[in-house]
Amino acid sequence: MKRNTLIRKWVLTFFLLLMAAMMVFPVVFTLSNSFMTENEISQNYPSDREIQQDNIAHKESFGHLKLFPEKFSFEQYKAFFDKKQSFIDKEQSNMKFYGNSVLMVFPIILGQLIVASLAAYVFGKLKFKGRDTLFLVYMVTMLMPFQVTLVPNYLIADKLGLLNSFGAIIFPGVFGAFGVFMLRQFVMTIPYSYIEAAKIDGASHFSIFMKIILPLIRPGLAALVVLLFADYWNMVEQPLIFLDDPSKFPLSLYLSQIIEETRGIGFAASILYMAPMLLIFGFTKKYLIKGIQLSGAKD
């Protein structure tokens, strides 16, 4: 019996290690190729034009997956920061699009943390007529497919004169329903006796929110930051629809063009693009796990 249990344990461990290796390999592959020279990149991965020429000449073209560079080089990273290598604006480097991503994502995260935490306190602890019905209606927007809300958001942004500006993306993101739902679950776990004791001492709703609610839902706020960052850092549809000026595109939308034009710089750009997400997840993973666990708490 123990032997069978041990065998199952080793089989499960091997399977999990295999799955982990499959998940990590693309990141390791991209990282190692980002340190190759442009000449080595062109030798291993033919361009689309070269593939088409080979097809016309009835030749077979294959890329050669290579994990370790022959010569360790920062050439691709230097080219990414070089203004001359910018594909849209020769006056500014590709970091402009990196900055565009930051200017869109961080206001959304900050705004939604403020709005969602306040709304979560209202829906979770304040008692008023129609509270649960209003919350249910609010949650319906979270159940709708993202594409359904694009048209109303576009029309509203057009009326407000926000099209082709970051505001057309930031404002809908700030008032997303997911953050309210998640933080409300945290607020519901806080004993109501804490709030009653604060009221007896003469505390206002603002004081209760700042001194009791916020400190106790800190793990939820950290988890929400990670989830929001992963969602909006990778956004493609919103900037593609709301922005007409290519110089305002975030790196998530511009990355495909970099890879299409220059594969070497594309590897470096991909690593720089993944770095913030990996760092944020590394520092907040325990809060993310705890946040997901507590978000399922019952009323």
Q: For residues 184 and 77, give the distance between their C-alpha atoms in angstroms, rounded to a whole number.
A: 43
In this prediction, residue 246 carries a pLDDT of 83
Helix, strand, coil percent content, the chain, rounded in steps of 5: 75, 0, 25
pLDDT confidence tier of residue 298, bands split at 50, 70 and 90: very low
Is residue 123 within 8 A of residue 116, CB to CB? The reply is no
The CATH code belonging to domain 95-294 is 1.10.3720.10
d(CA 111, CA 131): 23
Q: Which of 54-58, 65-69, 224-228, 245-249 has the lowest mean pLDDT?
A: 54-58
CA–CA separation, 147 vs 157, rounded Å?
Answer: 16
pLDDT at residue 89 in the model: 59
pLDDT tens readout for residues 214-239: 998 988 898 899 889 989 998 988 89
Residue 159: how many CB atoms within 10 A of its CB?
A: 9
263 Cβ contact partners less than 8 Å away, ≥ 6 residues apart: 41, 42, 45, 47
Q: Which of 221, 191, 222, 230 is nearest to 118 (CA)?
A: 221
The confidence score (pLDDT) of residue 44 equals 76
Total-model pTM: 0.81
For the chain, the structural domain boundaries read 95-294
**Are the CB atoms for 92 and 86 separated by under 8 Å?**
yes
